[in-house]
Structure 1
Amino acid sequence: MLRNEAVVCGVSLLLINLTLSLGGLAGGSVMVEWEVFSSGSAFYSLPLLFDWVSFSFSWAVSYIASMVMFFSVGYMGNERYLGRFIWIVFFFVFSMNCLIFIPSIWGIMLGWDGLGVTSFALVVYYQNKKSLAAGMLTALMNRVGDVLIIGVICMSSGQGQWSLCYPELAGLPFAASVCVVVAAMTKSAQFPFCSWLPAAMAAPTPVSALVHSSTLVTAGVYLLIRYSPHLSEVRSGLMFVASCTLILAAIGANLENDLKKIIALSTLSQLGMMMLAIAIGESSLALFHLLSHALFKALLFMCAGAMIHGGGDTQDIRLMGGLWSSMPTTMACFNAANLALCGMPFVGAFYSKDLILEKFLSGELGMWPVLVILIATSLTIFYSTRLSFLVGWGPSNSVSATAYSDEGWQAGAMLGLLGGALLGGAFLQKVFIEFNSFILLCHTGKMIIPLGLFFSLIMALILNSGDQQLHMKSHFFSSLWFLSFISSTPISGRTLSVSRSSHSYLDQGWMEVGSGQGLHQSLFSAGRAHHKWQSMKITFLIGGGMVAGCLSAVVAL
């Protein structure tokens, strides 16, 4: 019965996806604004913006969510609380669409908080200590962004409106732009807020396929794409942060052995590339790479989930190997998604990544940004090749190799995303004219990208064909420059300790004395004392009257 609910939800999302496709192909921009109320100079309204940006992004979200639902039928079909999982995912997609279609700080806050609450519920779905710790880290990091968005709302109150579509927002103070950028960094796991993204892999794999491809982690990127005309004063700082994120994630992925964490770190690396595109003023290229990345990254997580599910919940790539013969459909999809991730010619992210690299090679940004993005691109090919080799063609190290097999619903969902992963970049570039940037390069500059990709691929094949334990051991790089430990113990642990102390000393201590039970006890004691005093006064008056009467009788006698 619950499987049928998942199928119905997936079909409904596909129908929504078809509607969004027709709306996006129709072109044009329509804005509907409903005035809620106005007070003085403040104008409170609910705007809805339907343009090619919102249609394309919502199309990707609904399409991936529908495939995730179909994948969940096979992956989580025996779960007791599958119905609860379906409803949480539904509200998660609804919150993401509120963020997409409402171009207002209030609407963004609605979707922002909705994503935070539902992502916490999804991360702690398995209800064990590991998932609870990951959920708390995710929630605390995202609360930083929530506070900053509230600060932007307060700063916008002087404008009398909170829409992102009016030029009056250019008059906002510099602090508002900083708050928006830092809030986007927390949601998109940019340096130094990147430790929660690998930790959130404690969630079920269908959640990872949805959350870490096109929804939660891309919400910050989408916010900066909408806010990009007002980021001129903070672009240099954003470029530095994105460069650090790009490098640390690419190096960390080459040193990691957990299958899901490697894919999560590759997501972090691609988010850094999107932020770099926004930092140089190419928000259309950032959106282009966001959409193409979402299609193949969801496929990567689904393939990883099928491998983990078939291998008895084993996520260590050193315990896998030889899966090409036992899971041919899954491995074909996995290798195709890896090719799209690397940006191989005419596959997947080649179109968006090539334009971003060409923009950096155009000579307008200096030498260091070019070196950073070229090194990160080479490292992407290194860890993708290492992952495909160890999992697919390497020697089998699994004790349960016979358990690996392609399952019907899971394989169908992966095949549903395969076309988007391979041809999505070419399709998006043909449909949306905004993705066809023209960049003039000399012949040498034009040949650097394909030659670099080819050289990196050859080196990766040579290095990974001999020794599967090639990568060096580095605690500094594998822990994301110690950010994993800094975020968990000194920051999150201290925050929880302060909250516990506040609860003990305030909620259950002095505040109870001044309010709640303390106030009730004080009033009760005062009432009893007053009642006792009144009783004593009445007794005294009655006794005094009797004595006076007796004395009067004696005198009369």
Structure 2
Amino acid sequence: MIMLYYIFFFFFFGMVYFILGIYFLYNQNSMFIEWNLFMINSMEVNMLVLLDMISLLFIVLFLLISSMIFLYSSEYMIGDNFIDRFVYLMIMFIISMIMMILSPNLFTILLGWDGLGLISYCLIIYYQNYKSLKSGMLTILMNRLGDLSLVISIGLMVYIGSWNFIFYYDLSVMLFLMVIFSGMSKSAQLPLSSWLPAAMAAPTPVSSLVHSSTLVTAGIYLLIRFNLSLYNYYFMNILMILSLLTMFFFGMSANYEYDLKKIIAFSTLSQLGMMLMLLCMGMDMLSFFHLLVHALFKSLLFMCVGMIIHSMMDSQDIRFMGSLVKFFPMLMMIFNISSLSLCGIPYMSGFYSKDLMLESSLMMDFNLVILIVFYLSIGLTISYSMRLVNYSFVSYFKFNSLYNISENKLVNISLFFLMVMSVISGSMLWWLMFSSISLVYLSLFLKLLVIIILFIGFNLGYFIMNNIYLLEIKCDLNKKLMYGSMWFYTYLSLFMINKFFFMNFKMNFFFEKGWLEYLISMNLNYLFKSYFLSQLIFMNKYMMLIKMLIYLVLLYIILF
């Protein structure tokens, strides 16, 4: 019953914020609400809330997705022993996310930012097994690096006299480097990417809300807020190359992966690289637009995947899945619609952002290699989406001969609502955010290049599925392992973390519990014991002298 209360609460406030966002967008204004908490050494500490089109639209979609995921969790998590803990953790995550979205102040952003990381760790280790603990430790250590750089940026802003970064234009290069590193760690860009596939050990509602649509986009949102000052520095080119490599590497890895949740995680990483690349190109509003529509269809895709895994007795191997439309037709229809939206099929929500970004990239002055890799990464997105659809929809059912697979009506309500939003949100947000027409002048071949890439991606995904044994003959084991394991990056990152923990264990064993214990702790204990023993002996001797004097005085009084 309490779950239904939270569903209504988040949905109602989502509608309220939507009306407020339409009002702000229509009048082209924004509102600052500021509380001066205290001042120390000419440094003002304020609580600042910014209400504008960007923050309100993000909160609207975030609350709507949260309400549908609570409705989904009411059936998915039924019978769980710790359902109250799950609900409270999700509510704390939503509060931290809202605090991070509404604040243009680095100090209050840190409160929400740190809350996101800690609550995400608690949600990843929710099942309390060794795999969840290992994934949670990897996640929190990677995010701690971003938290540290955000703390350093807060320290660097002290000399300005305020943490309200939105009021300043020309800030130091070191400050923006720290902010960019924070955003890269939270949005899982290539040097810090291994934690997101590992975070799939969390329950599926957590993956749908936290690790697909909100937590990973928090870093992109922070960089969008800093966007006016980021373009002045040459290191944006380096950031563009890193985001492009993120798109390509994880698009390639998703085509060789058989774990269903990891394929969606690699897809999320590829789309995050696309958002960051759009931001580096100078198309910040288009990056934010793709962030919103991606949050809708990717959370829907995770929810569909969770029901498939739940129905197939927690099996995540796509090779066992086939002809699932016979068992849950409604679910597979929604799953295919979300996959087609991810591909950018015309008039789906993903089409409105991907079509404009591909055509706008051809109008800019970029290297030919960057454009080729960018278009190839888009083709890989379509390829792994079609491979996933083929394995789950077209191929034969290869699971157990005895099974019980059925749909859930309450879950289908939440899925259907997000499916409608995934279809209409692209055109609706397009007309809300881009009121002016942008001219893109291209030749006929370049105009048709988007459709050509779409067609090539479809055929590539179909070829990979139907000729996988031919590819396995021509590829040795090392190549398949490289493509399917994030180009060995997972093993390298885990190797470094394991080496760090092993070194920490050795230092703890040899120093704290070894020579330091012998030389310092035991000797200090011996010295303190010797000192107090000597004091005690001295005090005992002194008390004996006093007692003797008292006895002598009493004896003198009695006798005389």
- Using structure 1 for the length normalisation, give the TM-score: 0.92
**Aligned pair in 2 of structure 1 residues 497, 443: CA closer, same or farther (>3 Å)?**
same
Listed one character per residue, the Cα deviations across residues 35-85 of structure 1 (whole Å, up to 9, x for unaligned) are 111122211101000001101111111111111111111111111111110
Question: Whole-Å Cα distance in 2 between the matches of residues 203 and 531 of structure 1?
Answer: 59
Q: Which residue of 1 aligns with 2:175?
A: 176
Q: Which residue of 2 aligns with 1:475?
A: 481
**Aligned pair in 2 of structure 1 residues 316, 468: CA closer, same or farther (>3 Å)?**
farther
Question: Whole-Å Cα distance in 2 between the matches of residues 364 and 140 of structure 1?
Answer: 38
Residue ranges of structure 2 left out of the alignment (5+ in a row): 556-560
Partner SS, residue 399 of structure 1: coil
Checking the alignment, whether the CA contact within 8 Å between 1:36 and 1:45 is kept in structure 2 is yes
Question: Whole-Å Cα distance in 1 between the matches of residues 544 and 402 of structure 2?
Answer: 93
Checking the alignment, whether the CA contact within 8 Å between 2:275 and 2:290 is kept in structure 1 is yes
Checking the alignment, whether the CA contact within 8 Å between 1:428 and 1:435 is kept in structure 2 is no
Question: Whole-Å Cα distance in 2 between the matches of residues 335 and 113 of structure 1?
Answer: 36
Aligned: 1:205 with 2:204: yes
Number of aligned pairs? 544
**Aligned pair in 2 of structure 1 residues 119, 463: CA closer, same or farther (>3 Å)?**
closer
Residue ranges of structure 1 left out of the alignment (5+ in a row): 551-557
Q: Which moved more, 1:323-332 or 1:467-476?
A: 467-476
Mapping of 1:312-461 within 5 angstroms? 312-399=313-400, 402-433=403-434, 437-461=438-462
Q: Which residue of 2 aligns with 1:15?
A: 12
Question: Whole-Å Cα distance in 2 between the matches of residues 105 and 517 of structure 1?
Answer: 46
Q: Choose which of 526, 531, 544 in structure 2 pairs with 1:526.
A: 531
**Aligned pair in 2 of structure 1 residues 6, 502: CA closer, same or farther (>3 Å)?**
farther
Question: Whole-Å Cα distance in 1 between the matches of residues 448 and 397 of structure 2?
Answer: 39
How much does 1:125 deviate?
A: 0.6
Letter in 2 for 1:67: M
Question: Whole-Å Cα distance in 2 between the matches of residues 435 and 510 of structure 1?
Answer: 72
**Aligned pair in 2 of structure 1 residues 456, 535: CA closer, same or farther (>3 Å)?**
closer
Checking the alignment, whether the CA contact within 8 Å between 2:246 and 2:270 is kept in structure 1 is yes
Question: Whole-Å Cα distance in 2 between the matches of residues 418 and 79 of structure 1?
Answer: 27
Aligned: 1:225 with 2:224: yes
| Alignment RMSD (CA, Å) | 2.7
Partner SS, residue 214 of structure 1: helix
Partner SS, residue 222 of structure 1: helix
Question: Whole-Å Cα distance in 2 between the matches of residues 500 and 436 of structure 1?
Answer: 61
Partner SS, residue 8 of structure 1: helix
Q: Which residue of 2 aligns with 1:163?
A: 164
Q: Which residue of 2 aligns with 1:553?
A: none
Listed one character per residue, the Cα deviations across residues 410-465 of structure 1 (whole Å, up to 9, x for unaligned) are 21211111011112111110122379644333333222112321333244335535
Question: Whole-Å Cα distance in 1 between the matches of residues 381 and 469 of structure 2?
Answer: 17
Checking the alignment, whether the CA contact within 8 Å between 1:355 and 1:437 is kept in structure 2 is no
**Aligned pair in 2 of structure 1 residues 437, 378: CA closer, same or farther (>3 Å)?**
same
- Using structure 2 for the length normalisation, give the TM-score: 0.91
How much does 1:362 deviate?
A: 1.1
Listed one character per residue, the Cα deviations across residues 346-387 of structure 1 (whole Å, up to 9, x for unaligned) are 112111111111121114222122111100111111110010
Mapping of 1:187-336 within 5 angstroms? 187-232=186-231, 233=233, 234-336=235-337
Partner SS, residue 31 of structure 1: strand
How much does 1:335 deviate?
A: 0.5
Partner SS, residue 191 of structure 2: coil
How much does 1:500 deviate?
A: 3.7
Listed one character per residue, the Cα deviations across residues 195-221 of structure 1 (whole Å, up to 9, x for unaligned) are 111111111111110012221111111
Partner SS, residue 34 of structure 2: strand
Question: Whole-Å Cα distance in 1 between the matches of residues 82 and 437 of structure 2?
Answer: 46
Aligned: 1:5 with 2:6: no
Checking the alignment, whether the CA contact within 8 Å between 2:166 and 2:226 is kept in structure 1 is no
Mapping of 1:530-549 within 5 angstroms? 530-539=535-544
Letter in 2 for 1:495: F
Question: Whole-Å Cα distance in 2 between the matches of residues 517 and 134 of structure 1?
Answer: 38
Partner SS, residue 213 of structure 1: helix
Question: Whole-Å Cα distance in 2 between the matches of residues 70 and 310 of structure 1?
Answer: 18
Question: Whole-Å Cα distance in 2 between the matches of residues 513 and 58 of structure 1?
Answer: 57
Checking the alignment, whether the CA contact within 8 Å between 2:212 and 2:265 is kept in structure 1 is no
How much does 1:284 deviate?
A: 0.7
Checking the alignment, whether the CA contact within 8 Å between 1:213 and 1:295 is kept in structure 2 is no
**Aligned pair in 2 of structure 1 residues 511, 48: CA closer, same or farther (>3 Å)?**
farther
Q: Which residue of 1 aligns with 2:184?
A: 185
**Aligned pair in 2 of structure 1 residues 154, 522: CA closer, same or farther (>3 Å)?**
farther
Partner SS, residue 171 of structure 1: coil
Mapping of 1:62-211 within 5 angstroms? 62-167=63-168, 170-172=170-172, 174-211=173-210
How much does 1:514 deviate?
A: 11
Question: Whole-Å Cα distance in 1 between the matches of residues 82 and 426 of structure 2?
Answer: 37
Checking the alignment, whether the CA contact within 8 Å between 1:115 and 1:216 is kept in structure 2 is yes
Checking the alignment, whether the CA contact within 8 Å between 1:189 and 1:217 is kept in structure 2 is yes
Question: Whole-Å Cα distance in 1 between the matches of residues 435 and 45 of structure 2?
Answer: 32
Q: Which residue of 2 aligns with 1:486?
A: 492
Checking the alignment, whether the CA contact within 8 Å between 2:322 and 2:392 is kept in structure 1 is yes
